[in-house]
Amino acid sequence: MLQVWGLAGIGEISAGDDLAAIVGDALAASGEEPSDGDILVVTSKVVSKAEGRSVVADDREDAITRETVRVVATRTSPTGHTTRIVENRLGIVSAAAGVDASNTPEGTVLLLPVDPDASARALAAALRERFGVRLGVLVSDTLGRAWRDGQTDHAIGAAGVHVFEDLRGGVDAQGRPLVVTLPCVADELCAAADLVKRKTTGMPVAVVRGRADLVGDLDLPGARSIVRTGERDMFRLGADEAYAEGFAAGSGSA
């Protein structure tokens, strides 16, 4: 049985707040103290706020440009709205480079944490120490997907959690090797947590209980190990962008 619940009592977070203390207090007050193997899923927005990642930006588009390492694809809608799919410095491909202008004061935007894996490690270390239990922490962000509408939550930071469940050495019920199965359980945990977090009601942390087997040492690989960039990425450019590059090369104008 997997149980997932949102943690009540986490108010507005400001720059410099001790997020581990605030989350720990909410856990202690919840009537359900953490157990070995619990996994906390923390929305990146509150991590960013505590880390002072709010920046003044009259123009969200400028902030996106500054956060972008590489433009993957751009499209302008008939109404003139431009969507940019970009790779950010964390290797994450998403719309808008994680620059968030919702639930932020007018004239400011919120950037992603500088190093979400390190943020997750700091939170996990502090909470393991405080409660004397072995828990894991994931930092989640809401991302769109190629080929599918809508968004789901994904892991952009991880500490003390196996981000993949490696079944590749396993066998199926006929005894044949399960060759290509590598479930990204970190993303699945973040998706499960999003089902209880309710974006509109300010409940930025969820607890997942029931997969203690996925919790391990704090030096396990982080969420950075999930992103696929560079040569292994078959979708490093949008189709229009790649076509245009090829056309220019073929016509000798590149």
In angstroms, the Cα distances linking 236 to 68, 72, 85, 128, 158 are: 14, 6, 10, 39, 24
Of residues 77-96, which lie at the interface with a second copy (CB under 8 A)? 85, 92-93, 95
28: Cβ contacts below 8 Å, ≥ 6 apart? none
The least distance separating a second copy from the CB of residue 190, rounded to whole angstroms, comes to: 8
* Strand (E) or helix (H) holding 238: none
- What's the burial of 43, exposed, middle or buried (CB within 10 Å: 0-12/13-18/19+)? buried
Q: Which is nearer to a second copy, 38 or 188 (CB)?
A: 188
The least distance separating a second copy from the CB of residue 129, rounded to whole angstroms, comes to: 27
* Strand (E) or helix (H) holding 87: strand 82-88
Pick from 16, 78, 105, 107: which binds a second copy (CB under 8 A)?
Answer: 105
C-alpha to C-alpha distance for 240 and 85, rounded to whole angstroms: 13
Amino acid letter at 76?
A: T
Q: Is 56 one of the binding residues for a second copy (CB under 8 A)?
A: no
Q: Is 234 one of the binding residues for a second copy (CB under 8 A)?
A: yes
Q: Is 142 one of the binding residues for a second copy (CB under 8 A)?
A: yes
Q: Is 16 one of the binding residues for a second copy (CB under 8 A)?
A: no
Judged by CB under 8 A, which stretch of 15-23, 62-70, 121-129, 237-245 contacts a second copy?
237-245
Q: Is 212 one of the binding residues for a second copy (CB under 8 A)?
A: no
Q: Is 245 one of the binding residues for a second copy (CB under 8 A)?
A: yes
Q: Is 108 one of the binding residues for a second copy (CB under 8 A)?
A: no
Pick from 107, 200, 217, 219: which binds a second copy (CB under 8 A)?
Answer: 200
30: Cβ contacts below 8 Å, ≥ 6 apart? 7, 8, 9
Pick from 16, 31, 107, 253: which binds a second copy (CB under 8 A)?
Answer: 253
